[in-house]
Amino acid sequence: MAGWRLAPHVAVAAAGAILPAGGWAAQEAGDGVFPDSIVFGQSAALNGPAGELGRNMNLGIRAAFEEVNRQGGVHGRGLRLVVRDDGYEPEAAVANTHELIRHGVFGLIGAVGTPTSNVAAPIASDSLVPYIGAFTGAGLLRGEDQNYVVNLRASYDQETEEMVDRLVGDLGFRRIAVFYQDDNYGLAGLTGVRNAIQEHRMQLVGEAAYMRNTRAVKRGLLDIRAGDPEAVIIIGAYAPVAHFIRWARKIGLDAVFVNISFVGSNALLNELGRQGDGVVVTQVVPFPLDTGVPAVARYQAALRAVDSSAQPGFVSLEGYLAGRLVVETLAAGDPGTRPTRESFLRTLVESGPLDLGGFVVEYGEGDNQGSDLVFLTVIRGSEFVPVTRLSR
């Protein structure tokens, strides 16, 4: 998928065809429900330094939608997806969200990032439109009053807690620094690390930041090196993170680099090449090559059906699981009743544990996060391997 690019304003049907934006608008409906289809919208980065994340979330969602469409859809309605490129920039996300809602999507799915979700989710909520499966673990989407926000994944607080617990418990490290993106995504991760560090009665030996959608990491790297850390927790996107790690190794910073799931694992691996060995990434979905998990086996088959050249990865698996969540929730509704946004959300809250194929999610009143699972992976021999504890 590395060579795939879309123009900023295109619509993508679940069958993978690229349609003119006006062609979809001409068929708009108030809530995205048609006699033969249900239309969802996605605003995500498709180009730029975070583009690989949006493209793979989109790929996974489409794989899930196409899978059910080949079986006749959900209660006779096919699922369609309309996508807009926001370049991982809040201003574009606002414009895209207003446009998609104005055209009448049933829900928004697969947004990428905290800064974009921070501005887009309130628009969706004010419009009573579900905001589903955003690729972010930020706490700002996890309040008890977020009735229209549906989170699939574990939070950044849970990921950073796992990181610190493993660095301290498995490796005995006490000198930990943080390098983060200077926006509300990076600050969310930084807050999580600080809280986890305090639980261990420690202090960070360094903090430094870089500007979103840039690779301006060298000054921050020098600040981090000054603290002589044993480990650096990184809250960033794959392109600047890879740049940081390559330069850190070049100047002799001998530390363990630990990344949060948003980094984009496959993209990071491709960027780092042989310099990736030993890099740790926490994950919030199962290992995408573990076909012993039924959801992963289904995902791989669905992925091949959409794009035979696509490689399985954590981001597209997360997109697929978000798509499956939509499919299963709609399928649980009354087949003789026209689905509504409110009935969709009510089903989620009232259905109890929902097994997506060995990946169980559960929602309830005041609880809009489906999964609490965090997994560990390490790059070894130019590939990711799952681990249960850290070692050097």
What is the reported pTM?
A: 0.91
Please say whether the beta carbons of 164 and 200 come within 8 A: yes
Other Cβ atoms within 10 Å of 274 Cβ, number: 8
- Spatial separation of the C-alpha atoms in residues 161 and 155, rounded to whole Å: 10
CA distances (Å), origin 251, targets 204, 226, 233, 275: 21, 12, 18, 13
Extents of the domains making up the chain: 11-153+290-361, 156-283+375-387
Domain over 156-283+375-387 is classified CATH 3.40.50.2300: yes
Please say whether the beta carbons of 100 and 84 come within 8 A: yes
Sheet order of strands, 37-44 included: 78-85, 37-44, 107-109, 131-132, 149-150
Question: What is the pLDDT tens value at each position of the chain, 392 positions in all?
Answer: 222 222 333 444 443 333 434 444 444 548 999 999 999 999 999 998 889 999 999 999 999 999 999 999 999 999 999 999 999 999 999 999 999 999 999 999 999 999 999 999 999 999 999 999 999 999 999 988 999 999 999 999 999 999 999 999 999 999 999 999 999 999 999 999 999 999 999 999 999 999 999 999 999 999 999 999 999 999 999 999 999 999 999 999 999 999 999 999 999 999 999 899 999 999 999 999 999 999 999 999 999 999 999 999 999 999 999 999 999 999 999 999 999 999 999 999 999 999 999 999 999 999 999 999 999 999 999 999 999 999 98
Quick one: pLDDT at residue 114? Answer: 95
Quick one: pLDDT at residue 1? Answer: 26
Quick one: pLDDT at residue 292? Answer: 97
What amino acid is encoded at 86 in this protein? D
Please say whether the beta carbons of 342 and 147 come within 8 A: no
Looking at the DSSP bridge assignments, the partners of residue 234 are 179, 259
What is the CATH code for 11-153+290-361? 3.40.50.2300
Please tell me if the domain spanning 11-153+290-361 has the same topology as the one spanning 156-283+375-387. Answer: yes
Q: What tokens appear for 224 in the block?
A: 């981090």
**At how many degrees (to 10) do helices 114-126 and 184-199 cross?**
110
- Spatial separation of the C-alpha atoms in residues 65 and 70, rounded to whole Å: 9
Please say whether the beta carbons of 152 and 371 come within 8 A: yes
Quick one: pLDDT at residue 274? Answer: 87
Number of continuous H segments (helices) and E segments (strands) in the chain: 12, 16
Quick one: pLDDT at residue 49? Answer: 83
Q: What tokens appear for 257 in the block?
A: 């680099």
Please say whether the beta carbons of 132 and 326 come within 8 A: yes
Quick one: pLDDT at residue 265? Answer: 94
